[in-house]
Amino acid sequence: MSTETTVVQGLPGGELAEFQALHSRAHKETDVRRAAIVASKGTLDMAYPVLILASTAAAMGMEAGVFFTFYGLDIIQKKKFRHLKVAPLANPAAPIPVPNLLGAIPGATFLATRVMKFLMARQKMPPVEELLKTCQELGVRFFACSTTMGVMGVKPADLIEGADIAGAAAFLEFASQAQVTLFI
């Protein structure tokens, strides 16, 4: 047993309650559990881990935030998130192994995407649109990288409602208080 616990337990009832209240106020910010996730890829098979982890963190009571950068911005673009694809080319972890030559054939991406959507539906996985909505309902913060938006030609109006435009410094401020940080 630690000395701190012994001292706290030795406080008379009123003083113990006062100590606990002071401790709670002093550590309120540090007691918040937080998850910070970077989404840098915008394919269907990379959107799922980001959104599942973010929604799970929020459901566990954590503050969760996702920084969408480069192709990851596709996940939160109104005209793109419903049309994310799976690229079979150079993807050795694909559920059905595809030689690189076959992955380059026209239509291979379409087929790989259809197979992935079928496999997801068979496992009762919700579509990306539903996961985005779930994340937002659970309070997950979406940070769209302002610098990358300029590079990729993404306009604020292109983003889904609720996505915040933020620079790296704003996300790093959020992430600096995170106990869980992931780059996907």
Q: Which domain holds residue 84?
A: 35-183
Query: Would you state the pLDDT for residue 151?
Result: 97
C-alpha to C-alpha distance for 70 and 130, rounded to whole angstroms: 22
In a domain, 23, yes or no: no
**156 is a domain residue:** yes
The domain spanning residue 165 has which CATH number?
3.40.1260.10
| Residue 2 forms part of a structural domain | no
Q: pLDDT value at position 24? A: 63
* Nearest 10 degrees: Cα torsion 151, 154, 156, 157: 160
At 32 the pLDDT is 82
137 within a domain of the structure (yes/no):
yes
Question: Is 13 part of any domain?
Answer: no
Number of domains comprising the chain: 1
Q: pTM value? A: 0.77
pLDDT of residue 112: 79
**Which stretches of the chain drop beneath a pLDDT of 70?**
1-14, 16-17, 19-31, 89-107
Does 157 map to a domain? yes
Name the amino acid, one letter, at 130. Answer: E
What pLDDT sits at residue 89?
59
The pLDDT assigned to 110 comes to: 83
State residue 91's pLDDT score.
57
pLDDT, residue 72, reads 98
CA atoms lying within 13 Å on the CB side of residue 164: 15
Decide if 101 is inside a domain: yes
Say how many C-beta atoms besides its own lie within 10 A of residue 52's C-beta.
15
Q: 28 lies in a domain?
A: no
